[in-house]
């Protein structure tokens, strides 16, 4: 992990996401870039264009000052750009969040996006941040760690990976296991099914193949019976006092239904559970 992108809107939830980004950066000696974007409103006359331009300038200056303060606080609190073991800076752009994030992850080496999933001040703010997170999942094919407002302080000791026993899961698990090793965390493989599985051949074969591919890794495989995958995962996460839930985003398979509805509906556990979303690779 070399470069982490942390979008911020200066809300309390964005601050919580930054705590997670710092936690990861300190463990990996990574670089964090705070990212804030502003948008020029649509205008239809020269007069409104002038007003919009002045407003944009004010927004850029205000955001720039806030970002400088955030970097300074990271330096004072965590030792960033010094003895803390990681570096940080900020990026301020007039752009669409998804456009700049896609460019940075594709061309500038950012390997992970860490952002909040709900707002910290108003219903409108929560709606906007939720929409941004959903848009990022749809349009930016980079690993994304979504941190809810009520998430516990970061301490990755147990990582849950939701599996459907597919070959794509095996590839994704290589990344998850490597990530877990950074923190000394164990990895639980969890499969949610509507009815208890009698024939364990598929699950046993899958587990054996993953274990052989990752010798020396602490893994366990669990089946959860639940009519709703999200609720089953939520219950397992809470029962096992897990630290992070990881899912593979794909067009077909176990989690397809979770990614066809609005983010706030399909991830009902987001108020409690940090979620790392990986994207299926071709």
Q: Contact at 8 Å (CB) between 231 and 249?
A: no
Residues 246, 189: Cα–Cα separation, whole Å? 10
Helix (H) or strand (E) holding 21: helix 12-28
| Residue in 247, 167, 165 with CA at minimum distance from that of residue 200 | 165
Distance of CA 216 to the CA centre of its chain: 27
Q: Contact at 8 Å (CB) between 214 and 59?
A: no
Ramachandran region, residue 79 (left: φ > 0; alpha: ψ -120 to 50; beta: rest)? left
Q: Is the dihedral of CA 68, 73, 78, 83 positive or negative?
A: positive
Distances (CA, A) of 185 to 94, 149, 159: 39, 23, 7
State the pairing for strand pair 144-147/31-38: unpaired
Q: How many CB atoms lie within 10 A of CB 83?
A: 7
Q: Contact at 8 Å (CB) between 177 and 276?
A: no
Which residues, 6 or more positions from 278, have their beta carbon under 8 angstroms from its beta carbon?
Answer: 143, 172, 175, 176, 246, 247, 248, 249
180 token code pair: 């877990």
Residues 256, 260: Cα–Cα separation, whole Å? 7
State the pairing for strand pair 186-193/3-7: unpaired
Per-residue pLDDT of the chain (282 residues; tens, 9 = 90+): 799 999 998 988 899 999 999 999 999 999 999 999 987 655 455 555 555 567 777 888 999 999 999 999 999 999 999 999 999 999 999 888 999 999 999 999 999 999 988 644 444 444 445 567 777 877 888 999 989 888 899 999 999 999 989 888 999 999 999 999 999 999 999 998 888 887 889 999 999 999 999 888 878 999 999 887 778 888 899 999 999 999 888 765 555 554 433 433 454 334 568 989 888 876
Q: Say what the pTM is.
A: 0.86
């Amino acid at each position: 992990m070399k470069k982490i992108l942390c979008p911020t809107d200066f809300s309390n939830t964005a601050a919580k996401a930054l705590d997670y980004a710092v936690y990861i950066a300190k463990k990996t000696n990574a670089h964090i870039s705070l990212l804030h974007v502003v948008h020029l409103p649509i205008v239809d006359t020269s007069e409104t264009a002038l007003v919009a331009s002045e407003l944009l300038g004010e927004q850029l200056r205000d955001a720039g000052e806030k970002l400088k303060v955030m970097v300074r606080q990271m330096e004072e609190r965590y030792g960033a750009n010094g003895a803390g073991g990681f570096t940080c800076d900020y990026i301020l752009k007039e752009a669409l969040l998804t456009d700049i994030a896609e460019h940075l992850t594709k061309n500038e080496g950012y390997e992970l996006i860490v952002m909040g999933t709900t707002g910290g001040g108003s219903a409108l703010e929560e709606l906007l941040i939720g929409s941004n997170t959903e848009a990022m999942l749809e349009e930016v094919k980079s690993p994304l760690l979504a941190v809810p407002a009520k998430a516990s302080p970061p301490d990755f000791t147990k990582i849950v990976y939701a599996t459907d026993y597919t070959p794509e899961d095996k590839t994704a698990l290589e990344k998850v296991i490597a990530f877990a090793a950074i923190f000394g965390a164990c990895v639980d493989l969890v499969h949610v099914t509507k009815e208890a599985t009698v024939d364990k051949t598929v699950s046993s074969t899958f587990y054996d193949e993953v274990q052989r591919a990752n010798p020396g890794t602490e893994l366990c495989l669990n089946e959860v019976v639940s009519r709703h995958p999200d609720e089953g995962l939520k219950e397992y996460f809470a029962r096992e006092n897990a630290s992070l839930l990881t899912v593979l985003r794909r067009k077909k398979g176990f989690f397809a239904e979770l990614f066809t509805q609005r983010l706030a509906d399909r991830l009902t556990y987001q108020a409690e559970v940090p979620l790392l979303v990986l994207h299926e690779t071709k």
